[in-house]
Amino acid sequence: MMSLLKQEHGDVERVLSGLSRRAAWSGGPPIANVLMAKALAQPDLISLAAGFVEHQSLPVELVEKAIEKLFSSRATALESLQYGTTLGHPRLRRALWDRVSQAEAAVGLRHAGPEQIVITAGSNQLLYLVAEALLDPGDIVLCATPSYFVFLGMIKSFGARTVGVASDRDGMIPEALEDRLAWLERRGELERVKAIYVASYFDNPTGLSLGPERRPALLEVAQRWSRKHRLYIIEDCAYRDLSYYEEEWPSIRSYDVTGQHVVMVGSFSKSFSPGLRVGWGLLPPALLDPVLVLKGHHDFGSPNFNQMVMATILEEGWLEEHVARLRSIYRRKLETTLKAVEGMLRPVVAVKYVPPRGGLYVWLQLPEEWDTGVEGPLFQAAVEDGVVYVPGEYCFPEEGEPTLRCCLRLSFAMPDDINLEKGMERLARAITRCGSAAPR
Ligand SMILES: Cc1ncc(COP(=O)(O)O)c(C=O)c1O
**Is the Cβ atom of 274 under 6 angstroms away from ligand 1?**
yes
The answer to whether 378 and 260 have CB atoms below 8 angstroms apart is: no
Asked whether this chain's domains 29-58+321-435 and 60-316 adopt the same fold, the reply is no
**Is the Cβ atom of 236 under 6 angstroms away from ligand 1?**
yes
In this structure, which residue's CA is closest to atom 2 in ligand 1? 238
| Side-by-side strand order, sheet with 262-267 | 117-120, 279-282, 262-267, 232-236, 193-199, 140-144, 161-165
For 225, phi then psi, to 5°, come to -90, 5
Measured CA to CA, the distance from residue 372 to residue 404 in angstroms comes to 9
Measured CA to CA, the distance from residue 321 to residue 316 in angstroms comes to 10
* 3-state helix/strand/coil string of 266-325: EECCCCCCHHHCCEEEECCHHHHHHHHHHHHHHHCCCCHHHHHHHHHHHHCCHHHHHHHH
Indicate the DSSP class of residue 241: T
**Is the Cβ atom of 196 under 6 angstroms away from ligand 1?**
no
CB proximity list for 210: less than 8 A, separation 6 or greater: 170, 171, 172, 198, 200, 201, 203, 218, 249, 252
CB-count exposure of residue 263 (10 Å: 0-12, 13-18, 19+): buried
pLDDT reported for residue 2: 46
pLDDT reported for residue 229: 95
Amino acid identity of 266?
G
**Is the Cβ atom of 307 under 6 angstroms away from ligand 1?**
no
Measured in angstroms, how far is the CA atom of residue 386 from the centroid of ligand 1?
26
Measured in angstroms, how far is the CA atom of residue 123 from the centroid of ligand 1?
6
The domain 60-316 having CATH identifier 3.40.50.150: the answer here is no
Answer whether residue 438 shows pLDDT above 60.
no
Measured in angstroms, how far is the CA atom of residue 124 from the centroid of ligand 1?
6
**Domain range list for the chain:** 29-58+321-435, 60-316
pLDDT tens digits, 315-360: 999 999 999 999 999 999 999 999 999 999 999 999 999 999 999 9
pLDDT reported for residue 4: 46
pLDDT reported for residue 12: 78
**Is the Cβ atom of 120 under 6 angstroms away from ligand 1?**
no
Look over the chain and give the mean of its residue pLDDT values, rounded to a whole number. Answer: 93
Answer whether residue 13 shows pLDDT above 80.
no
State the average pLDDT over residues 121-130: 98
Measured in angstroms, how far is the CA atom of residue 51 from the centroid of ligand 1?
9
Helix, strand, or coil (residue 119): strand
Residue 295 to residues 83, 118, 235, 257, 270: CA-CA distances in angstroms?
14, 10, 20, 27, 23
Cis peptide before 274 (omega within 30 of 0): no
Q: Give the ligand 1 atom nearest the CA of 203.
A: 1
The answer to whether 142 and 185 have CB atoms below 8 angstroms apart is: no
Question: What's the fold here for domain 29-58+321-435?
Answer: Aspartate Aminotransferase, domain 1 (3.90.1150)
Measured CA to CA, the distance from residue 121 to residue 267 in angstroms comes to 9
Give the residue among 211, 249, 251 at the shortest CA–CA distance from 233: 251
Measured CA to CA, the distance from residue 220 to residue 121 in angstroms comes to 31
Residue 290 to residues 262, 301, 404: CA-CA distances in angstroms?
16, 14, 37
Residue 24: pLDDT band with limits 50, 70, 90 = confident
Amino acid identity of 330?
Y
The answer to whether 322 and 272 have CB atoms below 8 angstroms apart is: yes
Answer whether residue 40 shows pLDDT above 90.
no
Residue 36: pLDDT band with limits 50, 70, 90 = low
Measured in angstroms, how far is the CA atom of residue 426 from the centroid of ligand 1?
27
Residue 25: pLDDT band with limits 50, 70, 90 = confident
Answer whether residue 440 shows pLDDT above 60.
no
Amino acid identity of 313?
I
Give the residue among 233, 206, 204, 202 at the shortest CA–CA distance from 217: 233
% pLDDT > 90, the chain: 85
Q: Give the ligand 1 atom nearest the CA of 267.
A: 11
Q: Give the ligand 1 atom nearest the CA of 121.
A: 9
Measured in angstroms, how far is the CA atom of residue 391 from the centroid of ligand 1?
18
pLDDT tens digits, 61-119: 999 999 999 999 999 999 999 999 999 999 999 999 999 999 999 888 998 899 999 99
The answer to whether 400 and 47 have CB atoms below 8 angstroms apart is: no
Q: Give the ligand 1 atom nearest the CA of 278.
A: 11
Bridge partner list, 407: 365
Helix, strand, or coil (residue 237): coil
Answer whether residue 393 shows pLDDT above 90.
yes
Long-range contacts of 152-158 (CB under 8 A, 24+ apart): 152/394, 152/395, 152/396, 152/397, 152/398, 153/26, 153/27, 153/30, 154/124, 154/127, 154/128, 155/131, 156/25, 156/26, 156/27, 156/398, 157/22, 157/25, 157/26, 157/27, 158/22, 158/25, 158/131, 158/132
Measured in angstroms, how far is the CA atom of residue 68 from the centroid of ligand 1?
28
Cis peptide before 146 (omega within 30 of 0): yes
**Is the Cβ atom of 235 under 6 angstroms away from ligand 1?**
no
Measured in angstroms, how far is the CA atom of residue 270 from the centroid of ligand 1?
8
Indicate the DSSP class of residue 53: P
Other C-beta atoms closer than 10 Å to the C-beta of 204 total 25
pLDDT tens digits, 290-313: 999 999 999 999 999 999 999 999
The answer to whether 218 and 180 have CB atoms below 8 angstroms apart is: no
CA torsion 67→103→251→124, rounded to 10°?
0
pLDDT tens digits, 205-260: 999 999 999 999 999 999 999 998 999 999 999 999 999 997 789 999 999 999 99
